[in-house]
Amino acid sequence: MLMKSDAAAPRAAGKQDPQAPVALVVGSGFGGMAAAVRLAAKGYRVTVLEKLDAPGGRAYVHRREGHVFDAGPTIVTVPYLFDELWALAGRKFSDDIELKSLDPFYRIRFDDGDHFDYSGDPARMRAEVRRISPSDAEGFERFMREADQCYELGFRTLGDKAFDTVGDLIKAAPLIIRLRGWRSLHQMVSSHLKHPKLRIAMSLQSLLIGGNPFSVTSMYALVNALERQWGVHWAMGGTGELIRGLVDVFEGMGGTMRLKAEVKRIEVDNGVATGVTLADGERLPADIVVCNGDTGYLYKNLVDARWRKHWTDARIERGHYSMGLFVWYFGTDRRYEDVPHHMMVLGPRYRELLDDIFRKKKLAGDFSIYLHRPTATDPSMAPAGCDTFYALMPVPHLGSGTDWTTQAEPYRQSVQEALERTVLPGLGQHLRVSFCTTPLDFQHRLLSYKGAGFGLEPLLLQSAYFRPHNRSEDVKNLFMVGASTHPGAGVPGVIMSAKALESVLPDPATFRR
């Protein structure tokens, strides 16, 4: 079911007007591919330029010895956003992609061995809350009601609206004030729930979009309501199947995909974007340029400083950036049937660990682990009788000065030891594939400023109007989609950034010659 209809009618497969204006999309992550589909539907001739050897960006897929590893995002939480994109090409999403609902959504394992199974079943959620803290039962109901308000106002009302002007901010201000958006998410949760475990279970979701629950705006309680409203789903074959499907839809509309095409410069003439220059020196002219990449890196490295009155180097440096990510991908020659699809294996500290990561920029000796086991749902992700995993740990971004060339392996070994003690006994004896990515990979491979995993942290004054705009504040005909712009990170957020983009795009007819 579509929540909102799209104005653009489906375009004939494979047809693009050779006289239509040219749009270049830099980056083929979810935001870039969603933008490419919407641009093609509006009547632009679209080419997507991807630095890597395969599409996806942060949703790249690694294949090793029969194991399939989704590099980054692993779930679908708002399926109708994909329905909309397929419908723009006159196709049905469900004909191409099989989604499977997850139950529970994820298991939160506390350091004392207790756990909370987070699901979409209201009765079971209430039972889990009462099991941990009977006195918090009514507080949980109040929290979910407030989370529903955040969802209605923050996601449905504002999520796909480009915050392009001060007027847009003024219109939204009453909603933000009404929800007391100046509070942190953890403050909001704590106003309803008293037990420390429940406060953790209802606030850690902001980490999935790069935000410290002790500092991001309470509006991000919308994630809890969003999951309950739409469920948490797995795309059979892996998240990479979603990217493959989007590429197929885009190319079916006549779009062009170019791999190993790294952009080294956004060409600007008299304050107007006129195309790009690739790493090999090739110049590609365009009427508009849409960037699905880290905005800090983009402005600092791809746009000449003389054109940047707003996003100066100093302003970029002053920003508060999300944490970095250390991800250990591994496959085993046995299956761990007791481990669900998603599990948060928490360490002994919560607030103190996040303080080390976000404020002190210190690589701590302890950690919390987001453990992903797709083979719990989809055996095709590994050879028969084997399991595929990734373990993701929030760590400081490269502003910490951590030397990952020497720290990566000791850190990985510590993670392995922790998993062996808790949920994966005998892990070391059963490893058959193992490799890691660190903030250095995010900086050099994904071109992320400071190696941050999600761009600017989603603080109140780095959200909506205060986040890099979907339409560049500095350069005409330069636009942004993805985690670093409005509305922010997470698969729903980056896909909705392409919807927000539509509201500020010039009509293709304005470029007709």
The pLDDT of residue 9: 45
Q: How far apart are CA 76 and CA 86, in angstroms?
A: 15
- Reported pTM: 0.93
pLDDT in tens, 460-502: 888 887 889 999 999 999 999 999 998 988 999 999 999 999 9
Q: Does domain 126-230 have CATH number 1.10.405?
A: yes
The pLDDT of residue 2: 34
Using CA atoms, how far residue 460 sits from 194, 215, 217, 330, 446, in Å, is: 24, 9, 5, 37, 26
- Give 321-446's CATH code, choosing from 1.20.1070, 3.30.519, 3.40.50, 3.30.1370: 3.30.519
Q: CB of 418 within 8 A of CB of 367? A: yes
* Residue ranges per structural domain of the chain: 22-99+236-319+457-511, 126-230, 321-446
Residues 6 or more apart in contact with residue 157 via CB below 8 angstroms: 175
Q: CB of 38 within 8 A of CB of 498? A: yes
For the chain, how far is it from start to end, CA to CA, in angstroms? 40
The pLDDT of residue 13: 52
Q: Which helix (H) or strand (E) holds 200?
A: helix 196-201
The pLDDT of residue 16: 74
The pLDDT of residue 140: 97
| Domains 22-99+236-319+457-511 and 321-446 alike in fold | no
Which homologous superfamily does the CATH classification assign to the domain defined by 22-99+236-319+457-511? FAD/NAD(P)-binding domain (3.50.50.60)
Instruction: Using 50 as the pLDDT threshold, list the residues of the chain that sit under it.
Output: 1-12
In the chain, the percentage of residues whose pLDDT exceeds 90 is: 83
The pLDDT of residue 1: 30
